[in-house]
Amino acid sequence: NDAAIVLEGSDPKETAPKIFQGAFQNSGQVCIAIKRAYVHESIYDAMCDELVKLADAAVVGDGLQQGVTIGPLQNKTQFEKVLGIIESAKVDGKVIAGGGRATEKGYFIKPTIVRDITDGARLVDEEQFGPVLPVIKFKDASDAIARANSSEYGLGGSIWSKDLDAAWNLAATMDTGTVWINKHADLAPNIPFGGAKLSGVGTELGEEGLSEFTQLHVINMARA
């Protein structure tokens, strides 16, 4: 249930497209996709507005067709689950883009942005694994990190800020396997990737990932 924390001073026009891509790639069906966005109150409205523009401009449909940017959900069960989460979000927050299925046939859902929602709501606490993003307002960065860390999951997360020192210090307190700064879901074969808490055991990629495929052999001898 990866969280993105957008700190005061970030440029919504510059940051929103990266947040949107991090959240809606493969219609949100990515284990490390952004599932929650915590945005500082000073830029909250502007960030919501920019995300709405991106959601409204997205093209939902068959991914084999030219120009399509948002495809379907993988199966009926997940499709219905995400629609149910959206209905809950209409009560817990305010849907400002999308909000339902995109076509009569198929498992297509409009990219959905929900504002004025907070922790405790189903959309925030659960992993939706679909094209729906809650945008949560915060005032203090320490509170935002505490709320992000309150999840029982901890695969990945990201901090967004022009103040790299502040971002680095906050990233050090995020309880996830990977924390990105001013980007999200950037994987490389030489960088270990793994989770914390209930987000998995073990590591992929990097030397640490290769070690997962080796057998430790210990010989323990006493002197005669």
122-130 mean pLDDT: 97
Residue 222 belongs to some domain of the structure: no
What's the half-sphere exposure (Cβ side, CA atoms, 13 Å) at 153?
Answer: 17
Does residue 9 lie in a domain region?
yes
Distance set, CA 86 to CA 62, 73, 93, 127 (Å): 22, 14, 10, 12
Q: Are strands 156-160 and 178-181 parallel, antiparallel or unpaired?
A: parallel
The answer to whether residue 31 is domain-embedded is yes
Which pLDDT belongs to residue 107?
97
Give the gyration radius of the chain's Cα atoms: 19
The total of structural domains in the chain comes to 1
Q: Answer with the residue of higher pLDDT: 155 or 200.
A: 155
Q: Which of helix, strand or coil describes residue 135?
A: strand
pLDDT for position 224: 86
Asked if the structure places residue 78 within a domain, the reply is yes
Position 198 in a domain: no
Q: Which two tokens stand for residue 152?
A: 């029982």
Is residue 48 assigned to a domain? yes
Q: Which SS3 state, helix, strand or coil, does residue 14 take? A: helix
pLDDT tens-digit profile of 53-85?
A: 999 999 999 989 999 999 999 999 999 999 999
For the chain, count helices (H), then strands (E): 7, 11
The pLDDT mean for the chain works out to 96
pTM of this prediction exceeds 0.75: yes
Do 184 and 158 form a contact (C-beta atoms < 8 A)? yes
